[in-house]
């Protein structure tokens, strides 16, 4: 899918060539190459006869287009990311890269014996990991390792390798519509399905289903796919060409359609969970103003109306690693070059998140970050389109979403069947609120080949909405109309995509909640993982933990038990327990690990033991710490322990039939025997007594371990009993 730069060289320099009154000479060459390998060729005489040239671009300018260079060592963000130490990057392509190239330094591993040396593969790999010996050919993750497979037998290899990869690049596609072989045109549609248009465009095929299944089963693995170069392909009416008549290639002069402009991404470019990437011209100063895709870059929608491509990145004639020699460079283009720009850049986000938080991101989170931080190709439009998808990724912004957890919140959570998830945010009128939801959906159903099958491929339909605190709906996700693909996005119920995004401005100051739930039932009632990225231009204040209950009780003279329950946790690393007898001077006494991200009921407990016992009112508070080291605080609760409520001795223990309990209680109390599972087996009311002895006959109980519990309004104390045979 690379569009190579084809140049016919007549002379190294053209001297004395006359065009009208203008002469090419040493100072005005017809074409030239600079010291960094950029090739330029004369195009026209411009204003005031200044010569104008078309030149190849370079990987450095491609990195600037997506702001990947801002993540590199020495850049202003100070992140110093290069992919070093990560052997989690793969590529399937039409051959093997030139592993001995000086730009690779032994970091490319050939994984199968098939395939010949390929200039296409070498350039794609270079775009991702070239060291930058030639600065203009520097790869996005220029210190990473990479595994290289030939695309023959790709599905079986992908299934086997997925668990060990974070990302893989796939710059290949099904043969579709028009192809010229040795000067003869071939049409690869099927006239029995449609006489003039190729049915494969927009079609969700068997490979799409397999790829979606692999990513669903491997939540840390994301596949990046070039969208294809077919848009605009066609031949003049009446031009002889071959088509398949069912048994053989036959010559025809039937007029068949040119490709596009919409609905021209073929087969597995339409998989749900992949990141499908189209191509735009390089933007060395970053995306400025409106940007159109390159003429060949394919557009969506899919046949069922989903948004593809997901993103677009730089292409054209990009200087990358060449395969001719160990020090060769080549100018190449197509969406094949745009895709690895994104693949290599995403690896840096994995590296950065691990530096920040000690863990790696789900495939849906990587996709959500890239989409959330993307710049629109048409800045006047807030929503996506079927040409550029969600826009041009800005990896500097994506990294800042991970770094700045005050203005941004990155959530990885699980939606249980018939449940919902809520995240609370505080917004000011000047805030621009943006939230992006992505989930890795189970595989869709593959229908028999048919032209324009509109059957929905979404399996688990999650919905994101923005509400006020009083449950007034104020925000719905973007939707596009596949029946009129040129229309701008509106907002509504997105029942097609496993990506949803809401952008809202000018809201009244106050608390709002993002609510995520699902339609119908989740497949097989299995919980669905999802990723959410939310941002506010001034502040996004999320409640990292929602408490259901919190209370303390006395277990004995020396022990107090603190119990609490949560119904939602976001990015929760741990709870710190603070205690004291002065509400204004609490001290740290221990910690309990959190659940990370959860939207189901979680129960916790902590037992505080003091050898001297407890006197006076006891105060407790939880200080929750998230993975970014941010703190949030629970309410403060109190307990007034009773030194009068205790059991001073139990004898004998272990016992066989009877046990004696010496107890103190300043009011009527309840004595219970509990099983270890919490079942009450025996209970009796005890009168107040300062030093009473009560004898229990427990002959009827089987041998085993039990809990003796003494309770009154002052609290409770508990002890273990062991009955012997």
Q: 126-145, pLDDT tens digit by residue?
A: 999 999 999 999 999 999 99
**Cα 241 from Cα 480, distance rounded (Å):** 36
In a domain, 234, yes or no: no
Residue 8 has pLDDT above 90, yes or no: no
Residue 13 has pLDDT above 50, yes or no: no
Give the max Cα distance, the chain. Answer: 122
User: In sequence order, what are the residues at sequence separation of 6 or more whose Cβ sits closer than 8 angstroms to the Cβ of residue 160?
Assistant: none
Give residue 22's pLDDT: 56
Are 285 and 301 in the same domain? Answer: yes
61: left (phi over 0), alpha (psi -120 to 50) or beta: alpha
**Cα 171 from Cα 150, distance rounded (Å):** 12
Highest mean pLDDT among 312-316, 340-344, 710-714 belongs to 340-344
* Span 623-652, average pLDDT: 75
Q: Which domain holds residue 610?
A: 545-639
Helix axes 395-403, 363-372, angle to 10 degrees: 120
Element containing residue 401 per DSSP (H, E): helix 395-403
Show the tokens assigned to 502.
Answer: 């809401």
Are 360 and 285 in the same domain? Answer: yes
Phi, psi of 447, rounded to the nearest 5 degrees: -85, 160
**Cα 110 from Cα 702, distance rounded (Å):** 66
In this predicted model, which residue has the larger pLDDT, 495 or 654? 495
In a domain, 264, yes or no: no
- Helix (H/G/I), strand (E/B), else coil: 589: strand
- What does 662-673 look like in DSSP terms, one character per residue? EEEESS-EEEEE
Residue 543 has pLDDT above 80, yes or no: no
The residue among 397, 348, 398 whose CA lies nearest residue 368 is: 398
In a domain, 261, yes or no: no
The residue among 455, 453, 417, 421 whose CA lies nearest residue 597 is: 421
146, 161 contact by CB (below 8 A)? no
Confidence band for 5, pLDDT divided at 50, 70 and 90: very low
Number of helices and strands in the chain (H, E): 7, 43
In this predicted model, which residue has the larger pLDDT, 197 or 429? 197
The residue among 209, 227, 220, 214 whose CA lies nearest residue 271 is: 209
Are 218 and 314 in the same domain? Answer: yes
In a domain, 401, yes or no: no
Residue 399 has pLDDT above 60, yes or no: yes
Confidence band for 227, pLDDT divided at 50, 70 and 90: very high
The residue among 679, 417, 555, 661 whose CA lies nearest residue 671 is: 661
**Cα 706 from Cα 724, distance rounded (Å):** 11
Residue 539 has pLDDT above 60, yes or no: no
Are 215 and 312 in the same domain? Answer: yes
In a domain, 611, yes or no: yes
Minimum mean pLDDT among 508-512, 517-521, 606-610: which range?
508-512
* Span 141-153, average pLDDT: 94
pLDDT in tens, 369-381: 999 999 999 988 8
pLDDT in tens, 239-256: 999 999 888 889 999 999
- Helix (H/G/I), strand (E/B), else coil: 145: coil
**Cα 9 from Cα 252, distance rounded (Å):** 36
Last residue of a domain, one of 639, 655, 684: 639
In this predicted model, which residue has the larger pLDDT, 48 or 589? 589
Last residue of a domain, one of 639, 654, 677: 639
Are 45 and 66 in the same domain? Answer: no
In eight-state DSSP terms, residue 121 is H
Three state DSSP letters for 42-105:
EEEECHHHCEEEEECEEHHHHHHHCCHHHHCCCCCCCCCCCCCCCCCEEEEECCECCCCCCCCC
Are 19 and 80 in the same domain? Answer: no
* Span 341-365, average pLDDT: 96
In a domain, 183, yes or no: no
User: In sequence order, what are the residues at sequence separation of 6 or more whose Cβ sits closer than 8 angstroms to the Cβ of residue 566?
Assistant: 545, 546, 547, 548, 595, 598, 601, 602, 604
**Cα 336 from Cα 487, distance rounded (Å):** 28
95: left (phi over 0), alpha (psi -120 to 50) or beta: left
Residue 186 has pLDDT above 70, yes or no: yes
Last residue of a domain, one of 338, 362, 395: 395
In a domain, 563, yes or no: yes
Total domain count for the chain?
5
User: In sequence order, what are the residues at sequence separation of 6 or more whose Cβ sits closer than 8 angstroms to the Cβ of residue 280?
Assistant: 65, 291, 292, 293, 294, 297, 312, 313, 314, 315, 338, 377, 388, 392
Give residue 241's pLDDT: 96
Residue 110 has pLDDT above 90, yes or no: yes
Give residue 668's pLDDT: 79
Distance of CA 637 to the CA centre of its chain: 39
Are 293 and 389 in the same domain? Answer: yes
Are 610 and 698 in the same domain? Answer: no
Residue 428 has pLDDT above 80, yes or no: yes
Confidence band for 220, pLDDT divided at 50, 70 and 90: very high
Distance of CA 527 to the CA centre of its chain: 17
The residue among 505, 500, 492, 569 whose CA lies nearest residue 536 is: 505
Minimum mean pLDDT among 175-184, 445-454, 475-484, 536-545: which range?
536-545
195, 254 contact by CB (below 8 A)? yes
The residue among 1, 623, 24, 624 whose CA lies nearest residue 309 is: 1
Are 329 and 359 in the same domain? Answer: yes
Show the tokens assigned to 287.
Answer: 């995306």
Are 96 and 20 in the same domain? Answer: no
We report the CATH number of the domain holding residue 651 as 2.60.40.3080
Confidence band for 25, pLDDT divided at 50, 70 and 90: low
Confidence band for 512, pLDDT divided at 50, 70 and 90: confident
User: In sequence order, what are the residues at sequence separation of 6 or more whose Cβ sits closer than 8 angstroms to the Cβ of residue 614?
Assistant: 554, 557, 558, 560, 641
**Cα 406 from Cα 630, distance rounded (Å):** 9
In a domain, 237, yes or no: no
Across-strand partners of 408?
535
The residue among 624, 590, 591 whose CA lies nearest residue 610 is: 590
We report the CATH number of the domain holding residue 417 as 2.60.120.380
Minimum mean pLDDT among 38-52, 347-361, 509-523, 706-720: which range?
38-52
Q: Count of CB atoms within 10 A of residue 143's CB?
A: 18
We report the CATH number of the domain holding residue 624 as 2.60.40.10
Residue 15 has pLDDT above 80, yes or no: no
The residue among 11, 262, 3, 15 whose CA lies nearest residue 120 is: 3
Across-strand partners of 597?
none
Residue 599 has pLDDT above 70, yes or no: no
The percent of residues above 90 in pLDDT, for the chain, comes to 57
Confidence band for 32, pLDDT divided at 50, 70 and 90: low
User: In sequence order, what are the residues at sequence separation of 6 or more whose Cβ sits closer than 8 angstroms to the Cβ of residue 338?
Assistant: 226, 277, 278, 279, 280, 297, 312, 313, 314, 315
Give residue 27's pLDDT: 61
For residue 691, CA distances in Å to 619, 654, 664, 687 come to: 29, 22, 5, 11
Q: Are strands 545-556 and 559-580 parallel, antiparallel or unpaired?
A: antiparallel
Are 169 and 288 in the same domain? Answer: yes
Residue 99 has pLDDT above 70, yes or no: yes
In eight-state DSSP terms, residue 136 is G
Residue 646 has pLDDT above 90, yes or no: no
Q: Kindly report the CA angle at 288 between 286 and 292, in degrees rounded to 5?
A: 100
Give residue 65's pLDDT: 93
What mean pLDDT, rounded, does the chain reach? 87
Element containing residue 559 per DSSP (H, E): strand 559-580
Highest mean pLDDT among 182-186, 232-236, 506-510 belongs to 232-236
* Span 20-30, average pLDDT: 61
Q: In what order do the strands lie in the sheet with 473-475?
A: 421-427, 510-518, 462-468, 473-475
In this predicted model, which residue has the larger pLDDT, 709 or 593? 593
Are 324 and 209 in the same domain? Answer: yes
425, 513 contact by CB (below 8 A)? yes
Confidence band for 339, pLDDT divided at 50, 70 and 90: very high
């Amino acid at each position: 899918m690379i569009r190579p730069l084809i140049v016919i060289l007549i002379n190294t320099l053209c001297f004395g060539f006359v065009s009208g009154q203008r002469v090419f000479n040493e100072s005005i060459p017809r074409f030239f190459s600079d010291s960094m390998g950029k090739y330029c060729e004369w195009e026209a005489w411009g204003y005031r006869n200044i010569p104008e040239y078309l030149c190849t671009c370079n990987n450095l300018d491609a990195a600037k287009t997506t702001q990947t260079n801002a993540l590199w060592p020495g850049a202003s963000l100070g992140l110093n990311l290069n992919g070093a130490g990560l052997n989690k990057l793969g590529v399937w392509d039409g051959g093997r890269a030139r592993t001995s190239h000086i730009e690779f330094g032994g970091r490319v591993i050939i994984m199968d014996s098939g395939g010949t040396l390929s200039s296409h593969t070498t350039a794609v790999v270079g775009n991702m990991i070239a060291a930058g010996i030639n600065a203009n050919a520097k790869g996005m993750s220029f210190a990473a390792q990479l595994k290289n497979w030939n695309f023959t037998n790709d599905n079986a290899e992908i299934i086997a390798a997925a668990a060990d990869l974070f990302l893989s690049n796939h710059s290949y596609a099904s043969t579709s519509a028009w192809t010229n072989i040795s000067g003869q045109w071939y049409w690869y549609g099927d006239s029995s399905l449609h006489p003039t248009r190729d049915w494969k465009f927009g079609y969700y095929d068997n490979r799409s289903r397999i790829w979606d299944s692999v990513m669903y089963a491997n939540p840390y693995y994301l596949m990046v796919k070039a969208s294809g170069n077919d848009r605009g392909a066609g031949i003049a009416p009446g031009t002889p060409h071959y088509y398949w008549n069912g048994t053989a290639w036959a010559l025809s002069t039937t007029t068949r359609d040119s490709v596009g402009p919409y609905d021209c991404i073929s087969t597995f470019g339409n998989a749900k969970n992949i990141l499908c990437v189209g191509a735009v011209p390089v933007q060395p100063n970053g995306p400025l103003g409106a940007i159109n895709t390159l003429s060949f870059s394919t557009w969506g929608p899919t046949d069922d109306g989903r948004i593809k491509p997901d993103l677009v990145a730089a292409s054209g004639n990009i200087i990358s690693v060449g395969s001719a020699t160990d020090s060769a460079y080549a100018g190449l283009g197509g969406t094949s070059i745009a895709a690895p720009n994104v693949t290599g850049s995403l690896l840096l986000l994995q590296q950065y998140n691990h530096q920040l938080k000690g863990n790696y991101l789900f495939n849906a989170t990587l996709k959500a970050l890239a989409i959330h931080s993307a710049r629109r190709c048409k800045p006047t439009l807030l929503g996506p389109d079927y040409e550029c998808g969600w826009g041009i990724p800005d990896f500097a912004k994506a990294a800042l979403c991970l770094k700045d957890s005050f203005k941004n919140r990155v959530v990885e959570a699980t939606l249980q069947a018939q449940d919902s998830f809520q995240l609370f945010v505080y917004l000011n009128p000047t805030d621009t609120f943006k939230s992006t939801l992505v989930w890795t959906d189970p595989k869709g159903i593959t229908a028999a080949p048919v032209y324009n099958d509109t059957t929905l491929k979404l399996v688990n339909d999650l919905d994101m909405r923005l509400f006020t605190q009083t449950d007034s709906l104020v925000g719905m996700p973007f939707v596009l109309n596949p029946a009129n693909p040129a229309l701008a996005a509106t907002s509504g119920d997105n029942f097609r995509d496993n990506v949803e995004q809401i952008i809202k401005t000018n809201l009244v100051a106050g608390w709002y909640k993002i609510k995520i739930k699902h339609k119908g039932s989740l497949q097989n009632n299995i919980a669905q993982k999802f990723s959410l990225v939310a941002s506010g231009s001034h502040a996004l204040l999320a409640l990292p933990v929602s408490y259901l209950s919190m209370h303390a009780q006395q277990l004995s003279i020396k022990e107090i038990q603190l119990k609490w329950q949560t119904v939602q946790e976001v990015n929760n690393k741990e709870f710190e327990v603070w205690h004291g007898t002065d509400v204004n001077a609490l001290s740290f006494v221990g910690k309990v690990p959190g659940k990370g991200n959860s939207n189901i009921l979680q129960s916790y407990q902590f037992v505080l033991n003091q050898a001297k016992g407890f006197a006076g009112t006891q105060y407790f508070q939880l200080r929750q710490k998230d993975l970014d080291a941010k703190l949030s605080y629970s309410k403060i609760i109190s307990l007034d322990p009773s030194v009068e409520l205790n059991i001073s001795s139990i004898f004998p223990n272990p016992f066989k039939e009877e046990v004696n309990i010496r107890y103190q209680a300043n009011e009527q109390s309840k004595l219970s025997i509990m099983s270890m599972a919490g079942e009450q087996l025996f209970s009796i009311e005890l009168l107040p007594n300062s030093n009473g002895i009560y004898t229990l006959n427990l002959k009827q109980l089987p041998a085993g371990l039990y809990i003796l519990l003494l309770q009154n309004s002052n609290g409770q104390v508990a002890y273990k009993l062991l009955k012997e045979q």
